[in-house]
Amino acid sequence: MNKHLNIYNTHISPNASTYVNEVLQSTFISEGKKVKEFEDKLNTYLRIQNPLALNSGTTALHLALDVAGIKEGDEVILPAQTFVATGLVILQQKAKPVFADINYQDGNISLESIKQKITSKTKAIICVHWGGYPCDLKEINALAKQHNILVIEDAAHALGATHNNQAIGCISDYTCFSFQAIKHVTTGDGGALAIKDKTKFKEAFSKRWFGIDRNTATPTELGERSYNIEQLGYKYHLNDYAAALGLANLENFKERLLHRKNIIDLYNAHLNKITGIQLFQYKNDRESANWLYGFHVEDRSNFIRKLKEHQITASVIHQRIDRNSVFGGLTKNLINQQKFDNSQIHIPIHDAISIEDAEYIIDLIKRGW
């Protein structure tokens, strides 16, 4: 095989250019009926509750914190095992990120560690579904309720995942999705925020467009819309040409998820028996969106090198984000995080990986590194 197997890919549906072109031809490219159609589809097809389409996953996280009322002096608990966006939005609100430990076996935030990090200043917990595998949402939500804390899910990896047969996007107070180029479903850049509370939903709806409610602020006789901005808003909405791309990419999303699952089943069945590899351990009360395929490996540098020699990318994803000085220095005593950092590795899983590719990768790993 001389094809290069990348760790990520960008999936563009064959219908995408037609749908996007229709929007371009219409010359109405900003937020309009395609955005609404995209939101409706997220709801009917994936059971995401009250999804608001936005221009990135990061803005979804930021808007969630904003309408949740997170402000200076508040503490927000999060894992360091994530992409920097999860932590930066907390700083944008001038609140304090408090890093909790993770579970070594799956990379998700640890319930026990959250318990230890809760103080009187804690206002929210952001949990990240690592690689698409849902966190312990039942326990986390119960704990949060007990302490009057909000739960915000960073579900950037978890579009289409379920927990106790409930869709990710209808469980916690806030759920944030990303439609960035390499995520499951892309709109180029884009995101969605699902909000349970109807009042908060309305607030977020207006704040995604400067704080103006597009539904009620209609043009007057003078031509301009009539509005009075009472609360600081943002320019966070999605546009119709991006929504058209998203609609095309959503069309056979469940079949694509199944393809990922088949490949992962194959990986698991074979890599399970290999000395030097320890698979992540998953519970069967939840279904991962399988955005990533990771495990623990011994002698990691040689493993990466060996696969690279055969045009296959194996990669660490991501290094703990508290290593960035903007967060004020490494959090001490994140024991599992440290262990996870030392041995985690991820190998290719995406739409362009065929069963044959997966078999090739498995054979190669079986030969040793």
Ligand X SMILES: *Cc1c(COP(=O)(O)O)cnc(C)c1O
Nearer to ligand X (CB atom), residue 155 or residue 167: 155
Cα(274)–Cα(201) distance, integer angstroms: 49
Q: If binding is defined by CB under 6 A, does position 97 make contact with ligand X?
A: no
Q: If binding is defined by CB under 6 A, does position 178 make contact with ligand X?
A: yes
- 66 token code pair: 């904003």
Cα(279)–Cα(263) distance, integer angstroms: 15
Q: If binding is defined by CB under 6 A, does position 180 make contact with ligand X?
A: yes
Q: If binding is defined by CB under 6 A, does position 86 make contact with ligand X?
A: yes
> Would you call 364 helix, strand, or coil by DSSP?
helix
- 85 token code pair: 């966006």
Phi-psi region of 7 (alpha: psi -120 to 50; beta: other; left: phi over 0): alpha
Contact region with ligand X (CB under 6 A), list: 51-59, 162-170, 196-204, 336-344: 51-59
Contact region with ligand X (CB under 6 A), list: 11-19, 53-61, 105-113, 253-261: 53-61
Q: If binding is defined by CB under 6 A, does position 144 make contact with ligand X?
A: no
Q: Going edge to edge, which strands form the sheet with 174-178?
A: 51-54, 191-195, 174-178, 150-154, 122-128, 75-79, 96-100
Q: How far is the CB of 168 from ligand X (least distance, A)?
A: 13
Nearer to ligand X (CB atom), residue 157 or residue 271: 157
**Locate tokens 């221009």: which residue?**
55
Q: Among this protein's residues, is 36 annotated catalytic?
A: no
- 78 token code pair: 């999060």
Q: If binding is defined by CB under 6 A, does position 257 make contact with ligand X?
A: no
Cα(78)–Cα(124) distance, integer angstroms: 9
Q: At what angle do helices 57-67 and 198-207 cross, to 10 degrees?
A: 120
Cα(19)–Cα(220) distance, integer angstroms: 33
Q: If binding is defined by CB under 6 A, does position 58 make contact with ligand X?
A: yes
The one catalytic residue among 117, 183, 200, 207? 183
- Tell me the sheet residues that pair with 125: 77, 151
Q: How far is the CB of 154 from ligand X (least distance, A)?
A: 5
DSSP state, 310?
Answer: T
Question: From residue 121 to residue 140, what is the string marking binding to ligand X with x (rule CB under 6 A)?
Answer: -------x------------
Q: If binding is defined by CB under 6 A, does position 82 make contact with ligand X?
A: yes
Q: How far is the CB of 222 from ligand X (least distance, A)?
A: 38
DSSP state, 181?
Answer: T
Among 51, 57, 97, 294, binds ligand X (CB under 6 A): 57
Q: If binding is defined by CB under 6 A, does position 83 make contact with ligand X?
A: yes
Q: Which residues are marked as active site?
A: 183
The footprint of ligand X (CB under 6 A) covers 56-58, 82-83, 85-86, 128, 154, 156-157, 178, 180, 189, 191
